[in-house]
Amino acid sequence: MKGLFYSIMIALIIIPILALILFYSQTAIPQNIATKIRADELQYFSESIKEDLSRFLQINGKRALVAAVNASVSNGIGLDNASLRLIEVIENGTLYGNQTFADQKNFSVWEKNINDIALKSGFDINLTVLYLNVTQNDSFSVLFSTTVYINISDNRAGMSILKNMSIAEAISVENIQDPLYQIKTNGTIFRTIKKSPFSKISNPPTNLSNLTSDVFNRYYHSSTNGPSFLNRLEGKVTSSPYGLDSFIYLPELAISNPSLSDLDYEYWTNIPGYLLNHSKDYDPPLDPIYNWIRISCSGAADYNINSSLDTTC
């Protein structure tokens, strides 16, 4: 009984000691573990910069497009170089050196915010924009792309991350004003870019219901013959592989030329248009708008209605 008592006493003494050893082995932070924790924090911060840069381009790319449209229609002739002016907005928040409503959301402000966060986290950081470009991505989006060199370090821990970070964001131009309409009509027609939900091809050619809806709703289609959004910012009607087209609604024009094609880029380049042949058997019947809508042979071919024109193409 006495031996059992001492055994219990020894166990009661040894167990706390073993527990303390186990506790300190698991909770004490050796230098290598502290270094790993700091290295993880450094890596997480680097990844968060990339995510924030992506958000920056998404938000401020759209703001830059709107600012560029405002400037384009204000001067009445379009921008001298849409890509360069959009880069200027992203970099400095200015257009032609003048402040825009995007002046507080530019690259310089973004860099300062990142530097402030790094300082609070105990990191030193150096950011350098190596590349920034704006191009037409497709008919309905503009691509903002950048490469930023980052050097994040913790001098006390003796560690750093040095790398180039590349981001590209395609920004939709849908629901943004088409500057070409305001430029070409002296600000009398405001047209918002809305992508047509219909196929561009009328099939069969005697069913023009989709085309009729395109005209009434001022919808846009992709077109390799029409000007791109960046072209439109410059007031140009030159063709682009990433072009757009829409139909002018002739009654909106104060002064119009009813002999021209009503495809926007053809109307503004004085391309003659032709009426549809009303004697054909259309299903559904032709809407009254086809009493004035005209289209060229090439434009009609795009919409698969060249055989319905009141001419031989």
pLDDT of the residue at 27: 47
Encoding tokens for residue 2? 């006495």
What is the bridge-based pairing of β-strands 124-138 and 98-99?
A: unpaired
pLDDT of the residue at 17: 36
Encoding tokens for residue 23? 């506790």
Determine contact, residues 173/275, Cβ cutoff 8 Å.
no
pLDDT tens profile 152-189: 988 777 788 899 999 999 999 999 999 999 999 998 99
pLDDT tens profile 230-244: 999 999 999 999 999
Q: Given a cut of 50, is residue 23 above it in pLDDT? A: no
pLDDT of the residue at 98: 83
Nearest to 119 by CA among 80, 152, 91, 168: 152
The model's pTM is 0.85
Greater confidence, 210 or 154? 210
Q: What is the mean pLDDT of residues 23-39?
A: 59
d(CA 101, CA 44): 33
User: What is the distance, to the nearest Å, from the Cα of residue 135 to the centroid of all Cα atoms in its chain?
Assistant: 10
**Which residues neighbour 292 within 8 Å (Cβ) at sequence distance 6 or greater?**
250, 251, 258, 275
d(CA 101, CA 117): 25
pLDDT tens profile 73-114: 988 889 999 999 999 999 988 888 887 766 667 888 898 898
Q: Given a cut of 70, is residue 1 above it in pLDDT? A: no
SS3 288: helix
Written as one letter, the residue type at 116 is D
